[in-house]
Chain A
Amino acid sequence: MKDRDDALNWFMLVLRRDLTLSFRRSATYITPLIFFLIVVTFFPLALGPSQSLLSSMASGIIWISALLSSLLAVEGIFSEDYRDGTLDQYFVSSEPVFVLIFAKVLCHWLVCGAPIILASIISSIFLYLPSGALIALIISLLLGTLFMSLLGALGAALSLGKSAILSAIIVLPFSIPTLLMGTAIMSAAINQQDYSGFLLIMGAMLAIGIPGLCLLTVEAILLNYE
Chain B
Amino acid sequence: MNRIWSGIKNWLIAMGSPPLFYRWATSSLPWLAGLAFLMFSAGLIWGIGFSPADYKQGDVYRIIYIHVPSAILAESIYLLMAVGGFISMVWRAKIAGMLINSAAPLGAGFTLVALVTGSIWGKPTWGTWWVWDARLTSTLILFFLYAAIIGLHSSIENKTKADRAVSILAVLGVVIVPIIKKSVDWWQTLHQPSTFTLTSSPSMAPEMYLPLLVCVLGFYCLFVFMLSNSLRGEIISRERDKAWVKKQFFKQ
A residues near B (Cβ < 8 Å) are: 26-27, 30-31, 34, 37-38, 41, 44-45, 48-51, 125-126, 128
Contacts and interface: CB of A to CB of B under 8 A. Distances in A.
A128 B128 contact: yes
B146 to A, nearest CB: 10
B132 interface: yes
What are the 7 closest A-B residue pairs judged by CB atoms, nearest first? A49-B132, A48-B191, A34-B147, A125-B129, A125-B130, A44-B132, A126-B130
Contacts of A125: 119, 129-130
Contacts of B151: 27, 30-31, 34
A51 B119 CA distance: 15
B144 interface: yes
Interface residues of B, number: 20
Given A27-B151, A34-B147, A41-B141, A49 B128 contact: no
A34 B154 CA distance: 15
A48 B190 CA distance: 9
Nearest to A123: B130
A25 to B, nearest CB: 8
A37 B130 contact: no
Given A49-B132, A49-B188, 5 more contacts: A27-B155, A41-B140, A44-B137, A45-B187, A49-B131
A72 to B, nearest CB: 13
A190 to B, nearest CB: 17
A30 B155 CA distance: 12
Interface of B: 119, 128-132, 137, 140-141, 144, 147, 151, 154-155, 184, 187-188, 190-191, 194
B144 A34 contact: yes
A49 B141 CA distance: 15
A37 B144 contact: yes
A30 B150 CA distance: 11
B129 to A, nearest CB: 5
B74 to A, nearest CB: 17
Nearest to A48: B191
B52 to A, nearest CB: 32
A41 B155 CA distance: 24
Contacts of A126: 130
Contacts of A49: 131-132, 188, 191, 194
A27 B154 contact: yes
Contacts of B140: 41
Contacts of B141: 41
Contacts of A26: 154
Contacts of B137: 41, 44-45
A41 B137 CA distance: 9
23 contacts: A27-B151, A27-B154, A30-B147, A30-B151, A34-B144, A34-B151, A37-B144, A38-B144, A41-B140, A41-B141, A41-B144, A44-B132, A44-B137, A45-B137, A45-B184, A45-B187, A48-B190, A49-B132, A49-B188, A49-B194, A125-B119, A125-B130, A128-B128
